[in-house]
Chains A and B, each alone.
Chain A
Amino acid sequence: MNYIDFSLKVVGTRPIRPDGVDKVTGRAVFAADTRASGMLWGKILRSPHAHANIVSIDTTKAAALKGVFAVVTGQDFPEIASEEAFVGEGPMNFRDLSLNCMARTKVLYEGHALAAVAASTQEIADQALALIDVTYEVLPHVIDVEEAMAPGAPVLHADMFTAGVTPKPETASNISKVVTFKKGDIDAGFAEAEVIVEGRYTTQPVHQAYIEPHACLATYAPDGQVQIHSSSQGHFMIRAYVAKLLGMSISNIRVNPAEIGGGFGGKTLVYLEPVAVTLSKKSGRSVKMQMTREDVFRASGPTSGAAMTVKIGAKKDGTIVAAQQVLKFQAGAFAGSPIGPGCMCGFAMYDLPNVDVVGYDVVSNRPKVAAYRAPGAPITSFAVESLMDELAIKLGIDALTLREKNAAKNGTKTHYGPVHQNIGFTAVLDAVKAHPHWKSPLKEGHGRGLATGFWFNIGGESSAQVHVNEDGTVTAATGSPDIGGSRASIGMMVAEVLGVPATTVRTIVADTASIGFTFLTGGSRVTFATGMAATQAAEKVVEDLKRRAAQTWDIPVDAVEWKDGAAYPAGSNAGAFEPLDLAALALKAGRTGGPILAEVSINAQGAGPGFGAHICDVSVDKETGHVKIERYTAIQDVGKAIHPSYVEGQIQGGAAQGIGWALSEEYIYNSKGLMENAGFLDYRVPVASDMPMIEAVLVEVPNPRHPFGARGVGEVPIVPPMAAIANAIRSATGLRMPDLPMSPPKVRAALDAAG
């Protein structure tokens, strides 16, 4: 059923957060807050080198230490065949993931795990790690993406032969693959162009930097049953990876989703869980592990840094006739950067006749990248939207007008294949034009930037149950960890269908043994896909309740109507009966067929793409190079905001992370390939005093493929900020900042160079 044109009572309102009281009182249970009887602490020994062969590991002294119950190394983990996995966000190779969790013969980055211990206290575990003797043969390393691509660079994997080129290369390199997307005739396009602009841009790896470090508690029982409590964006993902990496059957593994303290894409892989299970198996005890903040920076996440060139050709009236992009993305130590979406998203906002995009996925001696909010899109869009600004300046056309002229519409064929349908980009640009921020005069000394962004959003497999409890209250259970308020949005959709207040429905995240398979929380899919499953489950419950009322009244089921949370006779000739509400029907459930519940498992299709546009005003301190955000407005097509406050929260949060990416966040390496800023004092994420008020503006162009019209909203808002800020700096100073972050030293250097 579709409710898009209905008058809604719950969806679109702003009830208080159902998980709020637990979170403000310290009751919410995150993974590190769990414990088990006789529990041990697991800790990991990590490589101090960027690249080295492991000559030998001697664990004798560590194992002999009192209080140590298990020591494991690569030898304790099964060899895994190379096999593509589609378990997490983006493709991953099972063998690579196994090697990333525990190195075998070679360490590929500083922080790479190579041994682990389980001990009765954290202090003893630390002491045991110090007693492990490792002999390394240090190898030359490479950090920079273009240096890693150059001939003669240290090669990380002797079996990496670039895919996507013909003929297949005969020598190994650090380029795992080359991807290309072409539309039209790029040479003819540039030949037709009256104005051509070009630029080269770089971005640095940035970390998702969730405040909760990765943590888990694992128990391996003697009969092979495994229990895991874990903080992740997908407990089914954890189950699948642990099963594969340890050669276990899925039915022997039960994963309980803990409350998750931020993920932003970074908790879509396993790091600790296979190690904790192995330590538990060896020690016979439950094992808890939690990463330190340094481990989080050095050994998990981040997203790719990149080097990019872009070239755009246009007619004098602003019509773009050719667009070309070359993207080189760092993947970290193993293949699998978000190069695919990087190639697809940069030009996805525009209707372009001739496009040529080439992308390189490149390994180097850095931690393996993980998904981060709209993986790939913010990087590629920083380049494209910066150059769009240059094109507007060169043409003497307003930045908004240039985008309006070339905007993708319904029916626009993208350069990567699909035709855009049910998109709201022009509505977003209309909202920019109408917004007081865009219309306001620029203050003296300020600069203003505009940038847009795109993200696909995805659907996929989801399961949901709706239970009417014995007292008429409702429990909705799904398999989607809640990282952005989805318990609230799912409960609200269920309440809307059942005709009850939001507070009647309590939504929970069920463990892997208690609900059908559900793909992880990522790709902005949960309110769309899991919401769709929950809506359908609620509709099945309503059908069942109507049948039960009909049975009670002894009238045909189509003579029963469901409204406002109760069954009514449909019209006067159906009979005169008092309405039966949820509580009344629940009371009679035993006599009308037993417990009332419905479960729906679907593979949701038709996720609506999301578009956004951000307007940013900045001032630049000429003395220090410090960029201050003076005003920030983020406009986005959200389809239908189920809980508008949480949608605004997602937009503000995405913009805040984008501001950090733009101005202060970066991985800094020394000449030995070691990270120099693995902590929050030196890796600077935005704090309260850095942040302006971010105004979130919701544009609602309903997605007809969702019962309430919803689109994913969590990822688009991190796409535009970097270019919006760069364009604002250009407006304020006349300087183009092509390299992120636009930190005070760089801005100051650019100001000095310009005299």
Chain B
Amino acid sequence: MDELITRREVMVVAAGGMALSQAPAHGADRASDASEKQTSDVPVSLRVNGRALTLHVDQRTSLLDALREYAGLTGTKKGCDRGACGACTVHLDGRRVISCLTLASRCQGKDITTIEGLANGDQLHPVQAAFIEHDGLQCGYCTPGQIMSAAALIKEGHAGSDPEIREWMSGNICRCGAYPNIIAAIRHASRGA
């Protein structure tokens, strides 16, 4: 089992390690209201972006809410909470999953990569760099999910042609309609990969 850390340490990891511009993670607010909780929390130990993390989450909590509201990693976005838009895509043991349909409590011992953990330090992942170079985004809200999906798609070997990329990216909606540039970015990144 992964190293257990306290709630306070979770906050430090989240706030310090991930360049969040926002205030502390949910754990801080929840601590004072713990006595008011109606359901029992369960501890879940994960590796998130290479760091061991133990979260105490409601059994019903999705991996998406666990990342955003408990671990303070807000780069992963909630667009529909029903598995239909792809904005919350993360990697679970290297495979892309829709984190809003994944129960956090089922992720015991799993390795999670989010958009915050994709780059190697200051060096952007090739897909991130390609999205910038090809301008594969407009408003940017679906972008973390698009990029996580694209990075996995290339590893899966589904970037052979534009129609193949389009098909295997069709779970990620971009309402701004940046699809031509998203496809171009993935094509470019896949050749370099």
Report the bound CA distance from A209 to B128 in whole Å: 25
Contacts A33-B22, A483-B139, A689-B167 given; indicate if A16 touches B132 (C-beta within 8 A). Answer: yes
User: Which of A37, A290, A293, A691 interacts with B23 by CB under 8 Å?
Assistant: A37
B54 within 8 A of A: no
A645 within 8 A of B: yes
Flag B70-98 by CB within 8 Å of A: 1 or 0 each.
00011111111110110100000000000
User: Which of B35, B37, B140 interacts with A23 by CB under 8 Å?
Assistant: B140
CB nearest to A693 among chain B residues = B180
Contacts A680-B80, A680-B82, A688-B169 given; indicate if A35 touches B60 (C-beta within 8 A). Answer: no
Are the C-beta atoms of B147 and A38 separated by less than 8 Å? no
Tell me the interface secondary structure of chain B in the complex: loop
Report the bound CA distance from A107 to B124 in whole Å: 50
Are the C-beta atoms of B30 and A120 separated by less than 8 Å? yes
Are the C-beta atoms of A26 and B179 separated by less than 8 Å? no
B3 within 8 A of A: no
Are the C-beta atoms of B29 and A38 separated by less than 8 Å? yes
User: Which of A121, A645, A680 interacts with B84 by CB under 8 Å?
Assistant: A680
Are the C-beta atoms of B128 and A25 separated by less than 8 Å? yes
Residues from chain A with Cβ under 8 Å of B29 in the complex: 35, 37-39, 120
User: Which of B60, B119, B147, B176 interacts with A262 by CB under 8 Å?
Assistant: B176
* Shortest CB distance A71–B (Å): 15
Residues from chain B with Cβ under 8 Å of A26 in the complex: 73-76, 114-116, 144
Residues from chain A with Cβ under 8 Å of B181 in the complex: 649
Report the bound CA distance from A1 to B23 in whole Å: 44
Which interface class (under 10, 10 to 19, 20 to 34, 35 or more) fits B?
Answer: 35 or more
A732 within 8 A of B: no
A50 within 8 A of B: no
* Shortest CB distance B135–A (Å): 5
Task: Say which one of A210-218, A384-392, A503-511 lies at the interface with B.
Answer: A210-218
Residues from chain A with Cβ under 8 Å of B58 in the complex: 121, 123
Task: Say which one of A94-102, A172-180, A594-602, A651-659 lies at the interface with B.
Answer: A651-659
A134 within 8 A of B: no
The number of residue pairs between A and B whose CB atoms lie closer than 8 Å in the complex comes to: 211
Are the C-beta atoms of A649 and B85 separated by less than 8 Å? no
* Shortest CB distance B105–A (Å): 14
Residues from chain A with Cβ under 8 Å of B193 in the complex: none
Are the C-beta atoms of A694 and B175 separated by less than 8 Å? no
Report the bound CA distance from A292 to B177 in whole Å: 22
Report the bound CA distance from A25 to B123 in whole Å: 11
Are the C-beta atoms of B128 and A679 separated by less than 8 Å? no
Contacts A211-B77, A261-B140, A293-B80 given; indicate if A688 touches B179 (C-beta within 8 A). Answer: yes
B42 within 8 A of A: no
* Shortest CB distance A458–B (Å): 21
Report the bound CA distance from A419 to B173 in whole Å: 41
Report the bound CA distance from A421 to B186 in whole Å: 43
Are the C-beta atoms of B178 and A649 separated by less than 8 Å? yes
User: Which of A23, A29, A657, A680 interacts with B85 by CB under 8 Å?
Assistant: A680
CB nearest to A654 among chain B residues = B177
Contacts A25-B115, A25-B128, A649-B138 given; indicate if A686 touches B177 (C-beta within 8 A). Answer: yes
Contacts A26-B144, A293-B82 given; indicate if A485 touches B173 (C-beta within 8 A). Answer: no
Residues from chain A with Cβ under 8 Å of B137 in the complex: 17, 20, 23-24
B161 within 8 A of A: no
A32 within 8 A of B: yes
B188 within 8 A of A: no
B6 within 8 A of A: no
Residues from chain B with Cβ under 8 Å of A652 in the complex: 177-180
Report the bound CA distance from A37 to B27 in whole Å: 11
Contacts A123-B58, A685-B173 given; indicate if A29 touches B21 (C-beta within 8 A). Answer: yes
Contacts A26-B76, A26-B114, A67-B38 given; indicate if A687 touches B82 (C-beta within 8 A). Answer: no
Report the bound CA distance from A156 to B70 in whole Å: 44
CB nearest to A650 among chain B residues = B138
* Shortest CB distance B3–A (Å): 24
Residues from chain A with Cβ under 8 Å of B154 in the complex: none
Are the C-beta atoms of A679 and B143 separated by less than 8 Å? no
B26 within 8 A of A: yes
Contacts A23-B140, A26-B76, A27-B75 given; indicate if A262 touches B39 (C-beta within 8 A). Answer: no
Are the C-beta atoms of B87 and A211 separated by less than 8 Å? yes
Flag A3-19 by CB within 8 Å of B: 1 or 0 each.
00000000000001101
Interface residue ranges of B92-146 to A (CB < 8 Å): 114-116, 118-119, 124, 128, 131-133, 135, 137-144
Residues from chain B with Cβ under 8 Å of A649 in the complex: 135, 138, 176-178, 181
User: Can you list 29 contacts pairing A with B, beta carbon distance less than 8 Å?
Assistant: A20-B131, A24-B137, A24-B143, A25-B128, A26-B73, A26-B75, A26-B116, A28-B140, A37-B29, A38-B32, A39-B29, A120-B36, A121-B33, A209-B175, A210-B141, A211-B174, A212-B77, A212-B79, A259-B139, A260-B139, A261-B139, A263-B139, A293-B84, A649-B138, A653-B176, A687-B171, A687-B172, A688-B174, A691-B177
Q: A residues engaging B (CB < 8 A)?
A: 16-17, 19-30, 32-39, 65-67, 120-124, 127, 208-213, 259-264, 290, 292-293, 483-485, 645-646, 649, 652-657, 679-681, 685-691, 693-694
Q: B residues engaging A (CB < 8 A)?
A: 19-24, 26, 28-30, 32-33, 35-39, 58, 60, 65, 68-69, 73-82, 84-85, 87, 114-116, 118-119, 124, 128, 131-133, 135, 137-144, 147, 163, 165-167, 169-183
Top 4 nearest A-B pairs (CB, nearest first) are A26-B75, A261-B141, A656-B177, A23-B140
Q: Beyond the given A24-B144, A122-B65, please list 17 additional residue pairs across the A-B interface where CB-CB is below 8 A.
A: A17-B137, A21-B124, A21-B132, A22-B140, A24-B124, A26-B73, A26-B116, A27-B75, A34-B23, A36-B23, A37-B28, A66-B35, A67-B37, A483-B139, A649-B135, A685-B175, A687-B170
